[in-house]
Structure formats: C-alpha cells, structure tokens
Amino acid sequence: MPSQDDVDFGGSGGSAATSGSTGQSGSSTSSAGHGGSVANSGGTTSTTGGGGAFGAAGTGGTSSGTSGATNGGSASGGTAGSAGGSTSGGTTGSAGKGGSASGGTTGSAGKGGSASGGSTSGGSTGSGGSVSNGGFVVQYTCLKTAAMSAYVEAEINAKNTGSSTIPVAELKLRYYFTDEPRVTNQMTNNFSHISTAGSNQTLNVTSVVAGLVPTVTGADTYIEFSFTSDHSLAPGEAMDFAWQMDGPDQSKDIYNQSNDYSFDASKTAPANWDHLVLFHNGTVVWGALP
C-alpha cells in the first residue's frame, strides 16, 4: 500500500474513524458520513490534511486538505464542489442553487448562485422582471376590488422620471386581463389630465380592447390606451387618468378579476405596479409583459 492516503470519499450514514482508535497509517481509503469528519483522532497517523487525490464530505461534514465537497461540505484546493458547497483554487468550480464558485478555470452558477474568477461569469435576466430604468414610473389604484365584478375600474398615473420631454402621442399603455363575458366591452373615461408644476393640462385618452396572441396565464385580452395632447410630457410631469370597463348587461356580464394579470385588489391607493406595461414608440419603458 502507498505510504500516504490516496482517496477520501464522503459516504452517508457513518464516520470513518473512531476517536481514540489506532490511526490507519498508510491506509488507502477513509470516508466520512453525514456530519462526520475524517480525522482518526488519537491514532498514530491522522488522515486529516493528508492531501488525498480525491476527497468529499457528506452533508454537513468537512474534509480538510482533500479535494472536493458536496451538499454543504467545504474543500480547499480541491477539484470541484457542487450543490451548495464551495470550492477555491480547484480546476473547475461549480455551484448549485445558492452556491458559489471562485478561482476555478470555469466558474458557473445555478439559480441564485454566482461564479467569480472563472472563465465564465455573470448571470442572466429572465422574463417577468419590471423595467424601471426607462424613464417612467407607472402607479395603479384599484377602484373596483371585488373578485367577481360587473366593472373593471382603475386610476393610472404614468410619470416621466427621465430627463427628456416626451410627446404623449409616442406613448401607449396596456392593462391585461381575462375576458370571461366575451361580449362587446364598453369603455368609459372617468377623467384625464397631465399633472404639471402649474395647472393641469388637457389629456385625451382613447382605448381599444384586443385579444392577446398567444394567450398566457392571467391574460387573454388587453386594453391599450393611447394619448394625445397639445402639451408634451416634461420631466417630472405625469399623465393621470381613470377608466371603467363593463359589458352591455351588468346583471350577467361578470368579470373574474382574481385571475387578471393587471388586477391587484390590495392597491387601493396609488402604488407602483409593474403589471401595467408602458411603451414608448413600441419599446417597453415600464412594466413586465405577462
């Protein structure tokens, strides 16, 4: 047998050595169970820090000087760590959910993980996140909070937080919902204006109801609002308008708002809401598409 430990493996369910036992000088295999450690405490020879070619620690276990770690274990100078463990200085560092990898030739990260020092680093942004750096903030107030309602009603405030003046005709805003009645939807504009540092300016609001293709969870239809005004939207100014939608027969044309993407009954006062989507010349400047 070789005179140094060659292999340390993390097993499951036990410990590799018993405290006080005779050390296994020159043994070729030591293993650690869940929460155990490879130590051979009190023996002639301790395998801890033995620098084996491959080493692993079980859940919660440690392996000092060995080469890898799994499931919450740690290793320094090892080859690889995975599933929440960490590696430093290894050939390949990879991380599972929430894990991290540093110093490896290739560092990669799973969901929530991070990779640094490797040849591949950085994350990606998925869909569904709000876009708040497009120079606008959109606030929403729910005016009909009942889940089952003959009316869909809200107030919307779209504020120019950028540094450029924007013609309102370049803007469109969408509200997404599921159309249970499948009737001719009737739109009513309750009020509309442009809020300025001085007196309010006139804002004309028109709307169309259209089917969403393809349909998605929470939306098969949307209302698209368009705007005109003799006054352009300067930095710090906002379009403010309230509207109502209903069917021809309010006694039976009932909307189930609870499954509508843009509906939130908790927002009874103006609040930022990224389920309203604002477009500037066709580009999303606020909100997350459903």
Distance CA 10, CA 16 (A): 9
Domain membership flag for residue 30: no
120's CB contacts (< 8 A; 6+ apart) are: 106, 107, 108
User: What's the pLDDT tens digit per position in 228-245?
Assistant: 999 999 999 999 999 999
Q: Say how many domains are in the chain.
A: 1
Segment 189-206 shows an average pLDDT of 97
Read off the DSSP letter of residue 168.
G
Domain membership flag for residue 84: no
**Domain around 201:** 136-286
Tell me the average pLDDT of the chain. Answer: 70
pLDDT band at 193 (very low <50, low <70, confident <90, very high): very high
Is the pLDDT at 196 greater than 70, yes or no?
yes
Segment 105-132 shows an average pLDDT of 37
pLDDT at 214: 97
The CATH code of the domain that includes 176 is: 2.60.40.710
- Rg, the chain, Cα only: 31
Domain membership flag for residue 88: no
pLDDT at 176: 98
CB 255, CB 148: distance < 8 Å: yes
pLDDT band at 213 (very low <50, low <70, confident <90, very high): very high
Is the pLDDT at 23 greater than 50, yes or no?
no
pTM over 0.85: no
Domain membership flag for residue 11: no
Domain membership flag for residue 258: yes
Domain membership flag for residue 23: no
User: What's the pLDDT tens digit per position in 160-170?
Assistant: 999 999 999 99
68's CB contacts (< 8 A; 6+ apart) are: 54, 55, 56, 75, 78, 79, 80, 81, 87, 90
Segment 78-93 shows an average pLDDT of 37
Domain membership flag for residue 277: yes
Domain membership flag for residue 64: no
